């Protein structure tokens, strides 16, 4: 299930109203991100790999492009403290993935962070 609440935000609905009649022209690349600092959240989130739960970052672009991910290369960034990394076997507080899209030459970049993040 990728069509979580971000698909129904004002920004996505507005973008859809421009995209459907072709006002953006040909789309060749898309990017989504969700930067979050989950310090103090329930313990089961501690050390979770950021790309494990990407619905906020990836679903709006997949919805707008009316496609699905067909392949991925993912890169971690930063370093979690050892005790946090041990829980899920994940050493990274942030990850960026490049997705190939089904029936398309387009790519989707998704960046997700869960810890050690400053948000504007």
d(CA 82, CA 110): 25
Give the start-end residues of each E strand in 78-117: 94-101, 107-113
User: How far is Cα 41 from Cα 44, in angstroms, rounded to an integer?
Assistant: 8
User: Tens of pLDDT along 23-65?
Assistant: 999 999 999 999 988 888 998 888 999 998 888 889 999 999 9
Task: Output DSSP code: residue 92.
Answer: -
DSSP 85: H
pTM of the model: 0.85
């Amino acid at each position: 299930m990728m069509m979580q609440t971000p698909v129904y935000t004002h920004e996505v609905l507005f973008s859809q109203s421009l995209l459907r009649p072709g006002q953006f022209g040909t789309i060749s690349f898309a990017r989504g991100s969700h930067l979050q600092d989950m310090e103090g959240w329930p313990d089961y989130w501690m050390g979770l790999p950021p790309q494990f739960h990407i619905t906020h970052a990836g679903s709006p672009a997949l919805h707008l492009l009316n496609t699905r991910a067909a392949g991925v290369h993912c890169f971690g960034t930063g370093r979690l403290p050892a005790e946090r990394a041990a829980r899920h076997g994940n050493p990274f507080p942030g990850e960026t993935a490049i997705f190939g899209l089904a029936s398309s030459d387009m790519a989707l970049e998704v960046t997700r962070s869960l810890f050690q993040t400053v948000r504007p």
